[in-house]
Chain A
Amino acid sequence: MTADASADMTDPLADVAWEPGVAKPDPILVADNITRQFGGLKAVDVDHLEIQRGVITALIGPNGAGKTTFFNLMSNFDSPDTGTQTFNGKDLTNTPAHKVANLGMVRTFQLTKALSKMTVMDNMKLGAVGQKGESFWRALLPFTWRSQEKGIETRAAALLERFKMAHMTDEFAGTLSGGQRKLLEMARALMVEPELVMLDEPMAGVNPALTQSLLEHVTQLKDEGMTVLFVEHDMDMVQEISDWVVVMAEGRIIAEGPPATIGENQAVVDAYLGAHHDAPLEWEDETDGDDVTSAAPADGSSEESS
């Protein structure tokens, strides 16, 4: 089934229009009318967004665009002022964050949350859901969970092997380098056996040598039939692995499209180079310096393009 999915994946999005909020053939996550206000600032204001199943979607945007807030809202780590999101058709509005994970949607964090004073193996084993020994009374009777624990340990060891961290199994996670923590966090998320993996800046603070291997791991998730949604700043990485790119600016979705086209979208160029002088410079040679002064507000540009 996974092989089929990846074969079809050549272009499930080929017929999808390149515009914000466009409908996808098989969405796994759908956000509707999501807003979140912090004081006077509307941090997120998303009318409609669909995330296609089985592909890698990148969520990009300048600093302060609301990407992480949107992530928190989608994973119910924060609740929106208005709006709903559905995952696999199930309304998540009143679902607590931990249940979202149990439904098969797992997220990582921008600031890596390795559990420092636990071993790498314990970090991994924590990720498995439906553990019998996590109930207080059963925990007192080790024979009720021992065999399940063995299975979890085997699975964790296999994942550590795949992420080339097997030699660190018994180290405290706190002794790992930043990049290794990112790897551990990703591997740990996979212990949940998710359908949708949401990675918040998986490459932040990772040295170039490790970047390539992280990229391969992300692509491998897709090959195994998982859906990936990730936030990233590094355009090279976005171009390399994503199938679809969603651009946010000032809380709104301003553009969507395949990665190759997104750099030519005027709204995106304006958002990066217009309103934010300190944004990444990847598009510098694609636009005139004069654009910096003639920037339209992102809200206006999103209306233009939709």
Chain B
Amino acid sequence: MDWGSILENTLRGFVGEQAIYFALAAIGLNIHFGYTGLLNFGQAVFMAAGAYGLALTVVYAEQSFWLGIFVGLFVFPVIMALILGVPTLRLRADYLAIVTIAAAEIVRLFLRSPKWDSVTGSSDGLGQYADTFYEFSPFEPRTRYGFGPLNFLGNQLWVVIIGWIVVAIVLVIVATLVRSPWGRVLKAIREDEDAARSLGKNAYFYKMQALILGGVIGAAGGLMRAIGTQSAQPDNFITDVTFLAWVALILGGAARVFGPVIGAMILWGVLSFTDTFLRQAVDQDIIPTSIMEGTQVGQVRFMLIGFSLALLAAFRPQGIFGNRDEMALDDR
């Protein structure tokens, strides 16, 4: 067993690109679900809005990268949030859940459709729109930069550094908001919408604001991913993406500022660890092929994630950062 590479891959999972993308998506969900009680099962559509906002602006409309960032961060996700929120936010929470999960699939299938190939690139998607981003990189694109057991290519390192800076800025904004009277109204709506309304708060309006804010943060995750991979493909935004973001949120603890970030780091750390570990174990016949083959590693690691989630639900339902006593208040 090559413990060095296992350690390297695990660390990379903890701090690498995937953890960043999913941390942002999960912070968005935390605004929706953790603070406001909105059930958004279509966070992938906000990530897609971010990615395609940039890609379409640069590749199809041939506008600047910066305009693309603006469209991807604000225009597309806000429009998406309005489309999803206007008809559903006056209704019970479950309606939003149904509509978001459907909308995410509708948008993805629309983007895949060959009919619009000249615009969206259908299932191949769009690519090479983020060169401007890498022009600012102080690192040599093809040089490896090492940090202890970790090392990144110059471009990857640039994405990771900017990515964590974005996460930090978003966390500061979220922390400020949830400790403000505005955040207090969101929590009140989560606890009991009618009580908030009886005290003069426009619940619909606040839910809309929360849906937009969480959507914009999710779009930031999609944008970072689109920049990091230089490609926006419809199948980057399948339903699994939404649910992995949910896993990150639940793992870290909902309604905690750092919960989704730590959750995303652990999620990808564990996924990378199990991936590398199982692959090596199979290669070296520590796990015989009669039990498992190398090609099955990808699936088995998700089974292990599922199993550990089941354990978490049984022994620490509040997540890593949550407060169990607070969680139990619902059961009274």
Contact = CB atoms under 8 A, between A and B. Distances in A.
A1 B177 CA distance: 40
A134 B177 CA distance: 10
A99 interface: yes
A116 B191 contact: yes
Contacts of A131: 181
B326 A117 contact: yes
Interface stretch (A19-27, A118-126, A237-245, A285-293): A118-126
A122 B195 CA distance: 13
B176 A142 contact: yes
A75 interface: yes
A107 B330 contact: no
Given A139-B180, A140-B176, A113 B197 contact: no
B176 A139 contact: yes
B175 to A, nearest CB: 11
Tier of interface size on chain B: 20 to 34
Interface string A102-132: 1000111100010111100010011101011
Contacts of B180: 133, 139-140, 142, 145
Nearest to B191: A115
A101 interface: yes
A175 B329 contact: yes
Nearest to B213: A136
B197 to A, nearest CB: 5
B243 to A, nearest CB: 24
Contact of B209 (A98, A101, A136, A138): A136
A299 interface: no
Interface string A187-215: 01101100000000000000000000000
Interface of A: 75, 77, 96-99, 101-102, 106-109, 113, 115-118, 122, 125-127, 129, 131-136, 138-140, 142, 145, 149, 172, 174-175, 188-189, 191-192
Interface of B: 173, 176-177, 180-185, 187-188, 190-192, 194-203, 209, 213, 255, 325-326, 329-330, 332
- List of 6 A-B pairs having minimum Cβ-Cβ separation, nearest first: A174-B329, A133-B181, A139-B182, A101-B200, A139-B180, A113-B195
6 contacts: A113-B198, A115-B187, A117-B326, A125-B184, A134-B201, A135-B182
